[in-house]
Structure 1
Amino acid sequence: MAVLTEAELLQIRRQLHQIPELALKEYQTHAYLLDVIKQMKQDYLEIREPAELPTALLVLVKGSKAKRTIGYRADIDALPVTEATGLPYASKHQGVMHACGHDIHMTVALGVLSYFSEHQPTDNLLFFFQPAEESESGGMKAYQLGLFTGKWHVDEFYGLHDNPSLPAGAIGCRNGTLFAGTTEVNIDIQGKGGHAAFPQLSNDAVVAAAALIMQVQTIISRNIDPVQSGVITLGKLTAGKIRNVIADSARIEGTIRGLTQSMIELIDKRLAEVCQGIELSFGVKVKLELNQGGYWPVENNPELTENFIKYMKQADGVEYVETAPAMTGEDFGYLLAQIPGTMFWLGIEDDSPLHSATLTPQESSISRGIAAITGFLEYRMTED
């Protein structure tokens, strides 16, 4: 196979779109990617299927005069969304859809890999087709399993996320934080139930929950620097069974978002202190569970990102857009906390937002994205 043509890339994207799979279950996707890659020229390629993370796929492209290994990541999982696009190549897997555009991510990565399989790079390139971005923290799992050690070591990492609000094929980026970090919050309150007419004999978990919710609102307004950004949303409260019985327990579920890891850790600390205060004030038991996993803020490396932006601003055929931080989560943040690198947007120009059942990316973004990334990688490899 020569370098993938635009028609072949379109076919690949549409075939991937039809076989979406959820986190850590991407076996059909893995097999399809492997089949495409094995048809490429193998002279410079080494393929790894890690048994520790079986749906992951790593492809090392050996450089001619390697002084570094540049990593490129593409996530491969989908979402539990029932597709409503009406496209002839819509998902064949009921209730699962590439509603976040990871089919675009994979296709762009295959296009870039195809180019370098025919044109040996100067530096080593490591393509990481990553499972479990939407849930299960696949990036963190890969790192903690040691997939990027030894000959698979990565010196710097790059990855994209598609963006419906940007023109098709445009590249968006910013220095600093691109995506917020996220933490799942679960709070269980245990009181003492009883008859609604005798509150003195009970300990109302609903009242304790209400007080906790109101106190949590002060964390952002009074503990976070006003010129920075953080969010706590407590989106679910469950308590009680009937109107005339005092509830013995309550459960609150929510999410924390922050633009830096230090901010998230501060919010976590204050939330734990509020829970301790509610225990003392109301005589209840409060169990707080915080689950961040690998969804750390995507904090772009200053030097590498400045270099990336400089290239994209002057590159022929690239429409560059400076973007604001987004409060969405991305597990590439964990990898960037361990390995310097840059995440950026690829415009796909659509009226439907990410994670919607009608997301329909403009497919012209694929070839433009491949050209921009290939050009940048070649430029990066000319530098010391």
Structure 2
Amino acid sequence: MAVVNRIADYAAEMTAWRRHLHQMPELGFGCVKTAAFVVEKLKEFGVDEIHEGIAQTGVVAIINGQGSGPTIGLRADMDALPIKEATGAEYASKVEGAMHACGHDGHTTMLLGAARYLAETRKFSGRAALIFQPAEEDGGGAGVMVDEGIMDRFDIARVFAMHNAPNLPVGEIVTTPGPIMAAVDTFSINVKGKGGHAAQPHSCVDPVVAACGIVQAIQTIVSRNHHALDDLVISVTQIHTGSAENIIPDSAYINGTVRSFDPAVQDMVEGRLKAIVEGQAMAYGVTADLTYFRDYPPTVNDAQQTAFAAQVAREVVGADKVDANVDREMGAEDFAYMLQARPGAYLFLGQGEGPVCHHPAFDFNDEIAPIGASFFARLVELAQPQNDFEEV
């Protein structure tokens, strides 16, 4: 691996930054302490501009290179998850019920590592815009930052991001042109019946049986309404109803998620859900209301920028450790909003075997932080060569 020597020199400091951030997880847009730490470090590094308060707690730092040229954007997410940590680490979360279970503490650290190097060396033309974003897990912070005008305000021409990947070998980097992660929609269904004594079901209108019928019918959308060769996942994840074994409740609640890549598929799913809910409600004599919400769009990599990012990755980790044509995933990512606004690419960096993201025992592997920082640094240097700028 060709980790940048200067970044390797302060790898231990990066580990300390990451473990400090790990102990103070913050949720959603409330990344106040995290953003303050980021700003403190950026000031130490001597970046040229620091812009705070974007999307409430987001930060954009500008580093000027040598000579004219465009601005390249690099993004890291900062927020944590509402999960009770079970790593047993000495640097475990000090915030009850919250932890960095997706490695955003590591992503922030990687971008800080790149910021330090770029501010010291400035071996590039144009500018680098370092985007520290809140609310990736919930709230679409990337979309809010785009809506607040960061792409135009800082004249960002293209944008890149990287996520850790548990159970991918350490140091391997994977990506793909086109869609890499799915759109995510959510649905909820409120079923209203008539409760009563469980020994007298004839005097009730049972929402539990109706809810079961609705859930069973939802399973036919993928198997009977959708082309088998296209990607679609529909998962019912919550059913809440009842309070005792001898009471038929008044109502039931159903919740779930839809993952897809094509707006036409989203239209089909929403239409079928409406028909199923209406039909099943009529069949069981209940009323049922569907709420369908389209959340993050699919994350779509620009083909040219993906090829360029893969070229940089091969320089950093070796050609044998880069796969630039992996299968797309059904997870979702709000970096999609930035890729809608500007061409760019999203990549995954292997961190070795261990618990998956969003698991209470997950922990970011500090060994890969210098690799990610080196990738970001070389991305800037190769995209915008010093005194010899040429668009890639």
TM-score (ref. length: structure 2): 0.88
- With over 3 angstroms needed to count, the CA separation of the structure-2 counterparts of 1:314 and 1:115, relative to structure 1, is closer
Answer yes or no: is 1:224 the counterpart of 2:226: yes
8 Å CA contact 2:240–2:254 kept in 1: the answer is: yes
Answer yes or no: is 1:358 the counterpart of 2:368: no
The residue matched to 2:13 in structure 1 has which SS? helix
Q: How many angstroms does 1:149 deviate by?
A: 2.8
Q: How many angstroms does 1:96 deviate by?
A: 1.9
Answer yes or no: is 1:193 the counterpart of 2:198: no
Q: What is the aligned partner in structure 2 of residue 15 from structure 1? A: 20
Q: What is the aligned partner in structure 2 of residue 100 from structure 1? A: 102
> Over residues 171-214 of structure 1, what are the superposed CA-to-partner deviations in whole Å (9 max), with x where a residue is unaligned?
11122222222222211012333455665654332232222212
> Over residues 240-287 of structure 1, what are the superposed CA-to-partner deviations in whole Å (9 max), with x where a residue is unaligned?
344555443211111112234443343223222322333444443321
Report the Cα distance in structure 1 between the residues aligned to 2:155 and 2:201, rounded to whole angstroms.
Answer: 62
- 1:42-81 equivalence runs, <5 A: 42=47, 45-50=48-53, 53-81=55-83
- 1:137-176 equivalence runs, <5 A: 137-150=140-153, 152-176=154-178
The residue matched to 2:84 in structure 1 has which SS? coil
TM-score (ref. length: structure 1): 0.89
Q: What is the aligned partner in structure 2 of residue 87 from structure 1? A: 89
AA in 2 matched with 1:339: R
AA in 2 matched with 1:341: G
For the aligned residue pairs, the C-alpha RMSD in angstroms reads 2.4
Report the Cα distance in structure 1 between the residues aligned to 2:199 and 2:22, rounded to whole angstroms.
Answer: 58
Q: How many angstroms does 1:164 deviate by?
A: 1.4
Q: What is the aligned partner in structure 2 of residue 328 from structure 1? A: 331
Q: How many angstroms does 1:317 deviate by?
A: 4.2
Q: How many angstroms does 1:69 deviate by?
A: 2.1
Q: From 35, 39, 43, give the equivalent of 1:38.
A: 43
Q: What is the aligned partner in structure 2 of residue 298 from structure 1? A: 299
Q: What is the aligned partner in structure 2 of residue 344 from structure 1? A: 347
Q: What is the aligned partner in structure 1 of residue 383 from structure 2? A: 380
- With over 3 angstroms needed to count, the CA separation of the structure-2 counterparts of 1:261 and 1:57, relative to structure 1, is farther
Q: How many angstroms does 1:127 deviate by?
A: 1.0
AA in 1 matched with 2:34: T
Q: How many angstroms does 1:107 deviate by?
A: 0.8
Q: How many angstroms does 1:108 deviate by?
A: 0.7
Greater RCO (CA < 8 Å, at least 6 residues apart): 2
AA in 2 matched with 1:7: A
Report the Cα distance in structure 2 between the residues aligned to 1:69 and 1:127, rounded to whole angstroms.
Answer: 10
- With over 3 angstroms needed to count, the CA separation of the structure-2 counterparts of 1:224 and 1:195, relative to structure 1, is same
Answer yes or no: is 1:117 the counterpart of 2:111: no
- With over 3 angstroms needed to count, the CA separation of the structure-2 counterparts of 1:197 and 1:349, relative to structure 1, is closer
Q: From 280, 288, 291, give the equivalent of 1:289.
A: 291
Structure 1, unmatched stretches of 5+, are none
8 Å CA contact 1:108–1:367 kept in 2: the answer is: yes
The residue matched to 1:345 in structure 2 has which SS? strand
The residue matched to 1:60 in structure 2 has which SS? strand
> Over residues 28-68 of structure 1, what are the superposed CA-to-partner deviations in whole Å (9 max), with x where a residue is unaligned?
111111100000124xx211012x53311111223444443
- With over 3 angstroms needed to count, the CA separation of the structure-2 counterparts of 1:218 and 1:312, relative to structure 1, is same
Report the Cα distance in structure 2 between the residues aligned to 1:228 and 1:286, rounded to whole angstroms.
Answer: 30
- With over 3 angstroms needed to count, the CA separation of the structure-2 counterparts of 1:91 and 1:195, relative to structure 1, is closer
Q: What is the aligned partner in structure 1 of residue 309 from structure 2? A: 308
Report the Cα distance in structure 2 between the residues aligned to 1:356 and 1:240, rounded to whole angstroms.
Answer: 29
Report the Cα distance in structure 2 between the residues aligned to 1:218 and 1:53, rounded to whole angstroms.
Answer: 40
Number of equivalenced pairs: 378
AA in 2 matched with 1:49: E
**Is 278-287 or 333-342 further displaced after alignment?**
278-287
Report the Cα distance in structure 1 between the residues aligned to 2:316 and 2:204, rounded to whole angstroms.
Answer: 69
Report the Cα distance in structure 1 between the residues aligned to 2:26 and 2:345, rounded to whole angstroms.
Answer: 26
Report the Cα distance in structure 2 between the residues aligned to 1:267 and 1:378, rounded to whole angstroms.
Answer: 44
Q: What is the aligned partner in structure 2 of residue 253 from structure 1? A: 255
Report the Cα distance in structure 2 between the residues aligned to 1:49 and 1:246, rounded to whole angstroms.
Answer: 53
Q: How many angstroms does 1:80 deviate by?
A: 2.0
AA in 2 matched with 1:147: I
Q: What is the aligned partner in structure 1 of residue 3 from structure 2? A: none
**Is 24-33 or 85-94 further displaced after alignment?**
85-94
Report the Cα distance in structure 1 between the residues aligned to 2:233 and 2:79, rounded to whole angstroms.
Answer: 27
